[in-house]
Amino acid sequence: MMLREDRSPRRYEAALKVRGAARFTAEIPVASMLHAALVLSPLPSGRVGRIDAGEALALPGIVRVLTHAEMPRIDRPGVLIPLQGPDVHHAGQPVALVAATTPAAARRGAASVEVAYERRPAILNLADGEPFAPKTAGRTATDSRRGDPETALRQAEVAIGRRYTTATNNHHPMEPQCVTAQWDGERLTVLTTTQAVFAHRLAIAECFGLRPEDVRIVSHYLGGGFGAKGGAWFPHLVMAIAAARVLGRPLRLELTREQMFTLTGRRQETVQDLKLGATKDGRLTAIVHESLAPTSMFGEYADALATVTRVLHACPNVATRQRLARVNAPQPNPARAPGEGPGSFALESALDELAYELDLDPLELRLRNIAAHDQHVDLPWSSNGLRECYRAGAASFGWARRPMRPGSLREGHQAIGIGMAAACYPAYRMASEAAVGIGADGRVKVRCGTQDMGSGTYTVLAQLAAEALGMSYAEVDVELGDSLLPEGPYSGGSMATASFTPAVETAARDLRGRLLALASADAASPLAGIAPERMSIADGMIRSGNRSEPVSELVARRAPQGLEARAGAAPEARPDFSAFGFGAVFAEVRVDSDLGEVRVSRLTAAYAAGRILNPLLARSQFVGGLIWGVGMALHEATVMDPHLGRVVGTSLADYLIPVHADMPAFDIHMVEEDEPRLGSGGVKGIGMLGTVGTAAAIANAVFHATGRRVRDLPIRVEHLLRPD
């Protein structure tokens, strides 16, 4: 089914954003507020000694310098809330907070605080850490095993084993993190850049011994998040709230771009060993995927690197194993397609290598290994549109004309290559509530305490309510990003939309039923006496046969205070199916033979991801996801000094995110699926899917262009231009 982008409602809040009128967190004025700046440890491991704030305190505008000695104790195991003690676990860790009347004064104050340290030994490199098994990997089990992969590998007609590595990445949403904390006795209001209004409300209440109802979290507009405004931001949020309490005044902390390299989480670097066994005709018989990634000295986090390996391709014998090692570095956390992004790079690169071992077209190899059901959990798919993605993507891309031999395509001094990869991402859901109401003016209001990172939540909430009610999109107002609203899902794991959709639809249908019943029972209505089942609502009019009444008139007459319906929805406890979104990515690259420079010239991708609510916005999400794949493949790396343990190059001039000229031509196909069994109203997540498989498709295309197999991300010019 073709989805029409041109008929999609436009982004709900776009008119505000293009005018610069959407108020982001740092722009909301708060009376008599102080500004915070942080003093950071240059050492990756040590103990804070004497802190001399004398010079700073003498500067104009400085109100106070807070260290661990002055801060209230907060008990929160597993996270490093700064200023809770003298121990330093990573370079860039805050060791003092300067409060001042202006941001500039605070910054100057922070630069004048003198801190003495006792240096301690540090583990700075992944290879030096002691591997251990984490409790979980993301939301999945750490290890998995089916069949007998070791024997199958030994007996395989063809087998390969390769090591792949991926770099540390930072999320770098364009909006830096910010919090303004305001105490009023035992009540607390927090304006902050959060992807999780409700989860943060609960956790903050726990930290400060408050009732959750006494904590209000507000996050109306988020300038991107990608994972950096969830759990990784939380410790610094708590630090600022605690500081505000000590100061007895509202306090705002805004991170600098430099601090976003160390205080907002990071995508783990990975070392991944992939072994594949197959028959000569290209049926997978064994997969072993083992990985190692760093975590911090204080917290434990492992990306789900093996999710894709466990389910994407059919294979009877699969073992996956994920290990962590502690290093003196900031705590890693989820970044767009956490695990699935880097994990699929290893798996889908290895599949390409296997295809060359077998001398089999890489797409054909994948077509021979489509999984008829989810072998990992041994359940049927809710649906699996992978075959259709392969077909649609390959046809549009022109894959059939690809010569198998690497280095066969050239244009001037450019080598051209094309490659592909498959993708999948689990369809997660969590509990959500929502309310849909209508006022006497006929305007509909949706209220849901979730947030919009730029992914289109405002739009989708408005659209869902409008469609379920029969009102026009333009008549809907949306309230989100506030913990005073009905409890909504957090924005992560591509699950927000799937979580609130059934709640909004149920509430809207409930409201519709009540409106029709009102009309039926109201003698003053032209529809009096007609059974609700025989009425319909469209464009704000209730109709039955040739009788009709505008909804607004009915509401004004019968419910002048307005009407609201509230509903909740929760995921199935034990579903009897497995739900994933699937996709196929095709990449064309051009490699400069003299300089090794790589440009991605074309990206075609086809996705089967359940019900698509708004094709225009969905396309934007897929393209955004693909760009993250381009960044991961070619540009992005947070470089750590191996001796000092500090980030080398802490600006957006050093950490390269893709720019305009890096943009390929995008060609996106959406295969719409009917998903009656999904309690999400058929919605699967889409935000992550675009970042899965993309880096592998690009690396595979680079191999096809040059004959050089790059197994380490990001691909660097040095990889492709080795001096002779």
Partner 1 sequence: MTAEHRIRFLLNGQSRETAAASTTLLDFIRETERLTGTKEGCAEGDCGACTVVVTRVVNGEPVLEAVNACITLMGQVDGRAVTTVEGLLGPGRAAHPVQRLLAETDGTQCGFCTPGFVMSLHAFAQSGEAVTVENVHEALAGNLCRCTGYRPIVDTALGLAGPAREDATASPLGGLADSDVNVPGWHAPRTLADLLQLRAERPAAVLVAGATDLGLGPSRDRAPIVDAIDVTRVPELNDITETSTAIEIGAAVTYARALPHLDRLYPTLGTYLRRLGSRQIRNSGTIGGNLGTASPIGDSAPFLLALDAEIELASRAGSRHVAIADFFTGYRKTALKPDDVITTIRLPKLVDGDLFRCDKVSKRYDQDISNVAGTFRLRIEDGRVVEARLAYGGMAATPKRAMAAEACLVGGPFDAAAVDAAVAALPGDLAPIDDMRSTAAYRMAVAGNLLRRFLIAGPAPAGLEAMP
Q: Which is nearer to ligand FES, 112 or 491 (CB)?
A: 491
Q: Binding string, 265-304, against partner 1, x = CB under 8 A? A: ----------------------------------------
Interacting positions 453-482 with partner 1 (CB under 8 A): 453-456
Shortest CB 257 distance to ligand FES, Å:
8
Among 85, 224, 442, 649, binds ligand FES (CB under 6 A): 224
Shortest CB 260 distance to partner 1, Å:
9
- For 129, counting Cβ atoms within 10 Å of its Cβ (0-12 exposed, 13-18 middle, 19+ buried), the class is buried
- For 574, counting Cβ atoms within 10 Å of its Cβ (0-12 exposed, 13-18 middle, 19+ buried), the class is exposed
Token digits for 420? 């592909």
Shortest CB 174 distance to ligand FES, Å:
4
Judged by beta carbon distances under 5 to 8 A according to partner kind, the member of ligand FES, partner 1, none in contact with residue 528 is none
Shortest CB 218 distance to partner 1, Å:
16
Q: Which is nearer to ligand FES, 187 or 257 (CB)?
A: 257
Shortest CB 12 distance to partner 1, Å:
10
- Tell me if 689 contacts partner 1 by CB under 8 A: no
Structural contact between residues 294 and 96, judged by C-beta atoms closer than 8 angstroms: no
Q: In whole angstroms, what is the distance from residue 241 CA to residue 70 CA?
A: 14
Interacting positions 116-175 with ligand FES (CB under 6 A): 174
Given the rule CB under 8 A, which of 158-166, 377-385, 571-579, 618-626 is the region that contacts partner 1?
618-626
Among 623, 672, 677, 709, binds partner 1 (CB under 8 A): 623
- Torsion angles phi and psi, residue 422, rounded to 5: -105, 165
How many residues belong to the site for partner 1 (CB under 8 A)? 78
Q: In whole angstroms, what is the distance from residue 312 CA to residue 350 CA?
A: 13
SS3 string, 106-167, reads: HHHHHHHCEEEEEECCCCCCHHHCCCECCCCECCECCCEEECCHHHHHHHCCEEEEEEEEEC
Residue nearest to ligand FES (CB): 174
- H or E element in which residue 445 lies: strand 444-447
Q: Which is nearer to partner 1, 248 or 412 (CB)?
A: 412
Token digits for 258? 């430099």
Q: Which is nearer to partner 1, 110 or 448 (CB)?
A: 110
Interacting positions 239-268 with partner 1 (CB under 8 A): 256-258
Q: How far is CA 204 from CA 188, 279, 370, 596, in A?
A: 10, 55, 45, 50
Q: Which is nearer to ligand FES, 17 or 716 (CB)?
A: 17
Q: In whole angstroms, what is the distance from residue 522 CA to residue 514 CA?
A: 12
Interacting positions 646-685 with partner 1 (CB under 8 A): 648-649, 651-654, 656-663, 666
Shortest CB 457 distance to ligand FES, Å:
14
Interacting positions 98-157 with partner 1 (CB under 8 A): 102-104, 107-108, 111
Q: Within 13 Å of residue 248, how many CA atoms lie on the same side as its CB? A: 2
Q: Binding string, 173-202, against ligand FES, x = CB under 6 A? A: -x----------------------------
Token digits for 547? 């009788």
Among 64, 90, 172, 711, binds partner 1 (CB under 8 A): 172
- H or E element in which residue 704 lies: helix 694-706
Shortest CB 224 distance to ligand FES, Å:
5
Interacting positions 427-486 with ligand FES (CB under 6 A): 454
Judged by beta carbon distances under 5 to 8 A according to partner kind, the member of ligand FES, partner 1, none in contact with residue 623 is partner 1
Instruction: Provide the total of helices (H) and of strands (E) in the chain, helices listed first.
Output: 16, 29
Judged by beta carbon distances under 5 to 8 A according to partner kind, the member of ligand FES, partner 1, none in contact with residue 656 is partner 1
Q: Which is nearer to ligand FES, 86 or 224 (CB)?
A: 224
Q: How many whole angstroms from its chain centre is CA 389?
A: 23
Q: Which is nearer to partner 1, 486 or 624 (CB)?
A: 624
What end-to-end distance do the CA atoms of the chain give, in Å?
52
- Tell me if 55 contacts partner 1 by CB under 8 A: no
Q: Which is nearer to partner 1, 503 or 585 (CB)?
A: 585
Q: Exposed e or buried b for every residue in 52-79, given b needs 16+ CB within 10 A?
A: ebeebeeeebbbbbbbbeebeebeeeeb
Provide the 10 A C-beta neighbour count for residue 706. Answer: 22
Least Cα distance to 59 among 112, 6, 7 occurs for: 112
Q: Which is nearer to partner 1, 554 or 640 (CB)?
A: 640
Q: In whole angstroms, what is the distance from residue 357 CA to residue 158 CA?
A: 8
Judged by beta carbon distances under 5 to 8 A according to partner kind, the member of ligand FES, partner 1, none in contact with residue 185 is none
Q: In whole angstroms, what is the distance from residue 574 CA to residue 656 CA?
A: 43
Shortest CB 416 distance to partner 1, Å:
17
Beta bridge partner(s), residue 668: 605
Given the rule CB under 8 A, which of 124-132, 541-549, 553-561, 621-629 is the region that contacts partner 1?
621-629
Least Cα distance to 222 among 179, 260, 256 occurs for: 179
Shortest CB 223 distance to ligand FES, Å:
6
Q: Which is nearer to partner 1, 105 or 527 (CB)?
A: 105
Q: Which is nearer to ligand FES, 372 or 661 (CB)?
A: 661
- Torsion angles phi and psi, residue 532, rounded to 5: -50, -35
- Tell me if 627 contacts partner 1 by CB under 8 A: yes
Judged by beta carbon distances under 5 to 8 A according to partner kind, the member of ligand FES, partner 1, none in contact with residue 644 is none
Q: Which is nearer to ligand FES, 173 or 714 (CB)?
A: 173
Q: In whole angstroms, what is the distance from residue 61 CA to residue 55 CA?
A: 13
Q: Which is nearer to ligand FES, 224 or 596 (CB)?
A: 224
Judged by beta carbon distances under 5 to 8 A according to partner kind, the member of ligand FES, partner 1, none in contact with residue 172 is partner 1
CA pseudo-torsion sign 667, 652, 191, 85: positive
Q: Within 13 Å of residue 422, how many CA atoms lie on the same side as its CB? A: 33
Shortest CB 486 distance to partner 1, Å:
24
Beta bridge partner(s), residue 584: 422, 606
Q: Which is nearer to ligand FES, 176 or 250 (CB)?
A: 176
Q: In whole angstroms, what is the distance from residue 498 CA to residue 495 CA?
A: 5
Residues contributing to the site for ligand FES (CB under 6 A): 174, 224, 454
